[in-house]
């Protein structure tokens, strides 16, 4: 599929989605939101893809929403605004519920809706120089659609502060409050992400998909009797599955599980960045 605002590549069983509008610092508009949703769904359903990396071309990861697009929305009807907001909400939900593990490759400025993209991913690795800002209140807006993901990632206390003040914070602070999983020098960013990808490829793909679903279901839910029973049922089902039996047998026989044979080649420490990126 040809994209206007993205560059999508699949390498070594990894889907890499580049937001590719660097002149606007990868600011989101209706076209990019639609294309990101379509690309994520396609990678989620592709059996050759084991994990997905979301990245931004140019100097920024994502500067939030395209202000020209937002200006057009401001003079539109309530129904049109609601429809567009629902499309962005659908994108975040698609990333959050993707069947494959997701990693945000974060560098440069990450503002407003861009933080929502980071928070919706399973993991995020940020360059030391990355800068974050929940800037919505400075424009008389609110981070409503991104809120559930940002609160889950940063916690309620940090979200209160940074969404009220719209102050900028560093990658080190983003790591401290849990928005990003790891930080690294910019020149080591891709190597660190590839280390994570190498670890992800060791796990059973079906087990990872079920784990993602289960974590979403039980996060913050008390361990009541019904949940305990349901958890036991999931475990029993997975143990008896073909992948579960293969994993245990491979361990006992001191060999690699069959799913590793499906991986063409484990990621190396070379950059995940494509050698050439089409610039629009």
Q: What is the DSSP string of 214-248?
A: HHHHHTT----HHHHHHHHHHHHHHHTSHHHHHHH
Average pLDDT over the chain, rounded to whole?
88
Task: Please tell me which residue, 140 or 171, carries the higher pLDDT value.
Answer: 171
Share of residues in the chain with pLDDT > 70 (%) = 91
* Residue in 146, 161, 91, 95 with CA at minimum distance from that of residue 124: 95
Give the mean pLDDT of 177-200. 96
What pLDDT sits at residue 276?
35
- Per-residue pLDDT tens digits for 97-150: 999 999 999 999 999 999 999 999 999 999 999 999 999 988 888 888 999 999
The DSSP result for 164-223, as a single string, is HH---EEHHHHHHHTSSSEEE-GGGHHHHHHHHHHHHHHS-HHHHHHHHHHHHHHTT---
Residue 15 tokens, joined: 């889907």
User: How buried is residue 170: exposed, middle or buried, by Cβ count under 10 Å (0-12/13-18/19+)?
Assistant: middle
What pLDDT sits at residue 87?
93
Give the mean pLDDT of 201-223. 85
What pLDDT sits at residue 221?
75
Residue 198 tokens, joined: 């190498």
- Per-residue pLDDT tens digits for 227-263: 778 778 877 888 788 888 888 888 888 899 988 876 6
* Residue in 27, 194, 45 with CA at minimum distance from that of residue 105: 194
Strongest mean pLDDT among 30-34, 76-80, 240-244 = 30-34
User: How buried is residue 201: exposed, middle or buried, by Cβ count under 10 Å (0-12/13-18/19+)?
Assistant: buried
pLDDT tier at 74, thresholds 50, 70, 90: low
- CATH class of the domain at 6-199: alpha beta
**Predicted TM-score (pTM) of this structure:** 0.87
Give the mean pLDDT of 49-60. 96
* Residue in 28, 18, 99 with CA at minimum distance from that of residue 8: 18
Residue 180 tokens, joined: 């990003």
What pLDDT sits at residue 161?
97
How many Cα atoms occupy the beta-carbon half-sphere of 121 within 13 Å?
24
């Amino acid at each position: 599929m040809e994209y206007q605002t993205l560059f999508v590549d699949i390498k070594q069983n990894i889907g890499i989605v580049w937001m590719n509008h660097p002149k606007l610092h990868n600011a989101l508009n209706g076209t990019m939101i639609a294309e990101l949703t379509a690309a994520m769904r396609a990678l989620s359903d592709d059996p050759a893809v084991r994990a997905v990396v979301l990245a931004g071309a140019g100097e920024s990861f994502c500067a939030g929403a395209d202000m020209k697009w937002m200006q057009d929305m401001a003079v539109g009807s309530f129904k049109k605004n609601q429809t567009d907001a629902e499309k962005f909400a659908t994108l975040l939900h698609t990333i959050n519920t993707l069947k494959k593990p997701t990693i945000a490759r974060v560098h440069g400025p990450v503002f407003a809706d861009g933080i929502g993209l980071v928070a919706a991913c399973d993991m995020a690795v940020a360059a030391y120089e990355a800068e974050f800002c929940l800037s919505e209140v400075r424009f008389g807006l609110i981070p409503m659609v991104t809120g559930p993901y940002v609160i889950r990632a940063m916690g309620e206390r940090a979200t209160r502060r940074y969404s009220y003040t719209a102050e900028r914070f560093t990658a080190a602070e983003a790591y401290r409050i849990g928005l990003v999983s790891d930080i690294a020098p910019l020149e080591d960013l891709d190597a660190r992400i590839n280390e994570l990808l190498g670890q992800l490829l060791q796990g059973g793909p079906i087990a990872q998909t079920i784990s993602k679903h289960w974590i979403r279901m039980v996060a913050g839910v008390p361990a009541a009797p019904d949940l305990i029973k349901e958890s036991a049922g999931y475990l029993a089902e997975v143990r008896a599955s073909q992948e579960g039996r293969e994993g245990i047998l491979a361990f006992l026989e001191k060999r690699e599980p069959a799913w590793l044979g499906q991986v063409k080649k484990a990621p190396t420490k070379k950059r995940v960045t494509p050698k050439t990126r089409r610039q629009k």
